[in-house]
């Protein structure tokens, strides 16, 4: 597991195999509770659709609405995170541009024997 290679530790858990087991257990717990919540949401949406069908005579397609809302929320999170990524990319690009420029200037100075 990659955790063993990057020397990660968790307070209260012995490093190595115990850390790996702890993280695996936490991942299983997250998957279980997330799956249970998703199943509950799908059942609730279906029950609500059945209720609307019996009262109004048509469904509201709440399962589709849940999927659409989830997709919109995920997209908004990505968009909110993007400017930070763009700024970091621009800063990194300008840093490397400066490094390359200094290296080229140093090489030119060394080849001509003059200072710029």
Which pTM does this prediction carry?
0.49
pLDDT digit string, tens, across residues 39-94: 888 888 888 888 888 888 887 788 788 888 888 888 887 777 766 555 555 556 55
CA 100, CA 106: separation in Å to the nearest integer?
A: 10
Running DSSP on this structure, what letter comes out for residue 13? B
Among residues 70, 21, 26, 66, which one has the least CA distance to residue 48?
Answer: 66
8 A C-beta contact, residue 13 and residue 24? no
């Amino acid at each position: 597991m990659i955790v063993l290679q990057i020397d990660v530790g968790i307070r209260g858990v012995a490093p190595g195999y115990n850390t790996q087991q702890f993280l695996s257990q936490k991942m299983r717990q997250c998957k279980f509770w997330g799956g249970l919540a998703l199943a509950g949401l799908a059942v609730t949406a279906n029950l609500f659709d059945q209720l609307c069908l019996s009262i109004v005579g048509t469904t509201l397609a709440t399962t589709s609405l849940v999927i659409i809302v989830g997709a919109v929320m995920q997209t908004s999170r990505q968009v909110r995170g993007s400017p930070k990524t763009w700024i970091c990319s621009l800063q990194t690009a300008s840093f490397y541009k400066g490094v390359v420029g200094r290296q080229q200037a140093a090489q030119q100075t060394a080849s001509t024997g003059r200072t710029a």
